[in-house]
Every structure is written in structure tokens, then in C-alpha cells.
Amino acid sequence: MLNQKVLDEVVTKVNEFLAQSPVKDAEKNLRVMLSGIFMKLDLVTREEFDVQQEVLKRTREKLTELETRVTELETEARSDKLHSETAPAETSARQRRTAKKAGFSNSAENLDDLSESE
């Protein structure tokens, strides 16, 4: 068996030789060249990509919620329209409730004004 000291010495000499060889220079030049190419490509880091992916996920969830809400409001509005022919006072109250649900605080007063002008 070879002595461990001799093996360590051989490894050290090979590493020194490779560090001084043209292979090491080629590696350095290749790294510099690739870095330049990557900078021109306008790439993003994995971290930036993951952040944007999370933002997109939350945006999709919010969009789904809003689409559901709009569908509910449209259904309620259609229902109110059908009932308006039979009970105008009841329709006005429904419209106020719908406006409040949708977040239009002044709409209840505006609906009253519209009802009076009709």
C-alpha cells in the first residue's frame, strides 16, 4: 500500500500543475464570457421568479373571488329586475341592499333620488 503522505503530495502537485496550466486560464475565460452573455440576456434570479409566481397566484385567487362576486350580483340584479314589475317598493329596497353589498355606500341615497325622479 502507498503511504497516505505520498498520496497527499501527489494530489497537491497535480492541483498546482492544473492551476498553472492553460486549462485553468480557459476555465476563467469561459466564466467571464458566459457571465457577459447572461448579463445581456436580461435573466431573472430564481428568487425573483418565485416572488412573481406567488404574486400571480394571489392575483388569480383574487380574480376568481371577484368573478364569483360579480356573478352573484348579476344574478341578484336579474332577480330584482323580474320582481320590479310586481313590487316597485320592494325592488328599491333590494337595490339598496345590493348597492350596500357591492360597497357603494352613497348608492342607497342615489337610488332613492332616481326612484323619485321616475
- Among 64, 68, 65, 76, residue whose Cα is nearest residue 100: 76
In this structure, how many other beta carbons lie within 10 angstroms of the beta carbon of residue 95?
Answer: 22
Q: Among all chains, which residue has been given the C-alpha cell 492544473?
A: 18
Rg (CA), the chain: 36
Q: What is the pLDDT of residues 70-104, one digit of tens each?
A: 999 999 988 888 776 655 556 667 777 777 777 76
CB 94 within 8 Å of CB 83: yes
Q: What is the pLDDT of residues 35-47, one digit of tens each?
A: 887 777 777 889 9
